[in-house]
A and B are shown apart, each in its own frame.
Chain A
């Protein structure tokens, strides 16, 4: 079974600085997707960024980027120019395979609570 591990229960960063959240996963699959989701106090799950395992290029979305190391099974999230609105729980998640659209579940890590210091 796939497992996702986030070893940092809490992180903090000064506003405008850069922070990196760690995620490792375990799978025997070669095709999969990885995600970072953000959950602010409103509890709404918000997709931050997504990475396809078959792509070597790291995904980037504005101030958010990932460092995807497939051999090491590592998927870290870098947040640049941190803003107060970035404060939230961040969950790393795994989806098996690139087929069976609509039928595959997400497996989540334990989460990292990010605090932004003004």
Chain B
């Protein structure tokens, strides 16, 4: 199955700054999915990133706040911009993994972001 390397694993950031999270997949994938997991809560999809086109954002998430890049079929970044304490969450990337047989998903190890 696919392996996703997600960086950084955690960070503590000052409010008003930005953090870029990277995900590298060891195989080519069509879409990469970015999720936010607020403390003690479930995963909420932020956006879907397709190579060569603008990401598709879910309701409540905007490109200015969460710009995404997808320069090739194995890599994507999510930036959390102009951070506030409310952005403190775990951020995860995910792909639908052909190595898992029919319709299995692999996740990165997550980035725990704390905004102070």
Contact = CB atoms under 8 A, between A and B. Distances in A.
Interface residues of A, number: 23
Contact of A110 (B42, B109, B112): B42
B103 A101 contact: yes
Nearest to B111: A43
B33 A106 contact: yes
Contacts of B45: 105-107
Contacts of A47: 100, 104-105
A45 B103 contact: no
Contacts of A111: 41-42
Interface in A58-104: 91, 95, 98, 101-104
A43 B103 contact: no
A47 B53 CA distance: 29
A105 B41 CA distance: 18
A108 B43 contact: yes
B107 A44 contact: yes
A13 B98 CA distance: 35
Interface in B78-116: 90, 92, 94-96, 98, 100, 102-105, 107, 109-110, 112
Contacts of A42: 109
A35 interface: yes
A109 B105 contact: no
A33 B103 contact: yes
Given A33-B103, A47-B104, A50-B103, A102 B29 contact: yes
Contacts of B98: 101-102
A15 interface: no
A35 B102 contact: no
B33 A105 contact: yes
Interface of A: 33, 35, 42-45, 47, 50, 52, 91, 95, 98, 101-111
Interface of B: 29-31, 33, 37, 41-45, 48, 90, 92, 94-96, 98, 100, 102-105, 107, 109-110, 112
6 contacts: A101-B98, A102-B98, A103-B30, A105-B33, A106-B43, A110-B41
